[in-house]
Amino acid sequence: MRTLTVQLADRSYPIHIGPGLLKRVELMIERMPQKAAALVTNTTVEPLYSRGLVAALEASGVRVVRVVLPDGEAHKNWESLNRIFDLLIAGRCERNTTVIALGGGVVGDLAGFAAAIYQRGTPFIQVPTTLLAHVDSAVGGKTAINHPLGKNMIGAFYQPRVVVIDTDTLETLPAREFAAGVAEVIKYGAIRDAAFFAWLEQHIERVIARDPDALGYAIERSCINKAEVVGQDERETGQRALLNYGHTFGHAIEAGVGYGAWLHGEAVAAGMVLAAKLSRRLGFLGEQEVARITSLLRRARLPVDGPELSVERYFELMAHDKKVEGGRLRFILLRGLGEAFLASDVPVVAVEEALAQRHASDV
């Protein structure tokens, strides 16, 4: 087991990474104010991991209320949130009851947001079971639900007490979801860790094959990057925004094809290629670097072409994105591999050109 720390003064918390950690419930209990928990999971994860975790917690004297949600991004909405509240209230959960999220990014976002606003805030623990959640969504305290007009429109910054990453949970993850998580791993290399990007170019096939050593290293390196950024800019007033590389296009893609049709990581992959093309168009990135990003994503079995939406539709969807400020579109761009920056006032025509060339072969 490796342990990192997210440095946030009196709200600092550990991230434990390793195999077999689902059985080590003491890692959770030591961060709970009392032995009472509400375990939030989904119908897919429940038969795989929930029963064992509940049994282990109960064997240690923890009272556990269970909340099982339907699976999928389409359910990251008020309805699921309200289902959590109904069961928390029915189960007499109190301010000191710890909400535990067991699942992927959707479960983590829903359970975390529920914990943030149930009785104005209850303790929260992340136990992610997908690669995307391991390397991204479980770390850093962003929680939210979707609104019909925009992804993650309603939410809170709310930090967990601890993140417990059991790498064994990836054994059951479907290949498509696994690849979607790799998109965010590659993102860390692209935006702030050129050495890690180069390592991934060497070892991406081992990562995809879920070789324990390669995968463990990729998860740890991703979490280190995420923890550093969050520790410096918790509420995204500055450099944390760089983590959204590929996400302005990505969110438009997710909304444009209908939430759930593309996985978040898939949309981000295609979004990163578009953002790289935009960076190149503005003279910040060379053709060869765009090709390296595209090639690495393709080797990771990720989509690199944007879907068939009109340029007008892309713009319409992006205008609802949170990264709009003062009416102008802002973009995270690259000025080389491993160095992202925030560009305001990106010319509309450059974005149109990048979108017109949304097939990877259009360079």
The answer to whether residue 144 forms part of the interface with its own copies (CB under 8 A) is yes
Q: Which of 9, 59, 61, 149 binds its own copies (CB under 8 A)?
A: 149
The answer to whether residue 26 forms part of the interface with its own copies (CB under 8 A) is no
Closest to 144 in 3D by CA, of 107, 94, 197: 107
348-356's contacts with Cβ under 8 Å and 24+ in sequence apart are 348/315, 350/278, 350/281, 350/282, 351/278, 351/315, 352/311, 353/281, 354/274, 354/275, 354/277, 354/278, 354/281, 355/274, 355/306, 355/311, 355/314, 356/311
Q: Which of 151, 161, 264, 330 is catalytic?
A: 264
Binding mask 153-172 for its own copies (x = CB under 8 A): xxxxx---------------
Bridge partners of residue 144, in order along the sequence: 155
Residues 204 to 233 in contact with its own copies, rule: CB under 8 A: none
Q: Which residue has the tokens 């959640």?
A: 133
* CA–CA distance, 71 with 76 (Å, rounded to integer): 9
Q: Which of 3, 5, 60, 96 binds its own copies (CB under 8 A)?
A: 96
Closest to 335 in 3D by CA, of 282, 274, 268: 282
- DSSP code at position 71: P
Q: Is 236 a catalytic residue?
A: yes
* CA–CA distance, 310 with 284 (Å, rounded to integer): 26
Q: Is 247 a catalytic residue?
A: yes
Report the 10 Å Cβ neighbour count for 111. 30
Q: Is 359 a catalytic residue?
A: no
Q: Which of 23, 51, 176, 235 binds its own copies (CB under 8 A)?
A: 235
Q: Is 147 a catalytic residue?
A: no
The nearer residue to its own copies, 70 or 121, going by C-beta atoms, is 121
Q: How far is the CB of 270 from its own copies (least distance, A)?
A: 24
The answer to whether residue 94 forms part of the interface with its own copies (CB under 8 A) is yes
Q: Which of 220, 236, 254, 289 is catalytic?
A: 236
* CA–CA distance, 350 with 359 (Å, rounded to integer): 16
The answer to whether residue 91 forms part of the interface with its own copies (CB under 8 A) is no
Q: Is 184 a catalytic residue?
A: yes
Bridge partners of residue 17, in order along the sequence: 2, 165
The nearer residue to its own copies, 46 or 321, going by C-beta atoms, is 321
The nearer residue to its own copies, 85 or 315, going by C-beta atoms, is 85
**3-class state of residue 100 by DSSP:** strand
Residues 189 to 208 in contact with its own copies, rule: CB under 8 A: none
Binding mask 33-72 for its own copies (x = CB under 8 A): -x--------------------------------------
The answer to whether residue 322 forms part of the interface with its own copies (CB under 8 A) is yes
* CA–CA distance, 107 with 110 (Å, rounded to integer): 5
* Piece of the chain touching its own copies by CB under 8 A; list 51-59, 143-151, 167-175, 339-347: 143-151
Q: Which of 11, 23, 51, 147 binds its own copies (CB under 8 A)?
A: 147
Contact by Cβ (8 Å): 125, 148: no
CA distances from 211 to 19, 45, 65, 134, 177 (A): 13, 22, 35, 16, 16
The nearer residue to its own copies, 277 or 323, going by C-beta atoms, is 323
301: left (phi over 0), alpha (psi -120 to 50) or beta: left
Active site (catalytic) residues: 120, 142, 184, 226, 236, 240, 244, 247, 251, 264
Sites of contact with its own copies (CB under 8 A): 34, 78, 82, 85-86, 89, 92, 94-96, 113, 116-121, 142, 144, 147, 149-150, 152-157, 235, 319-320, 322, 324-327
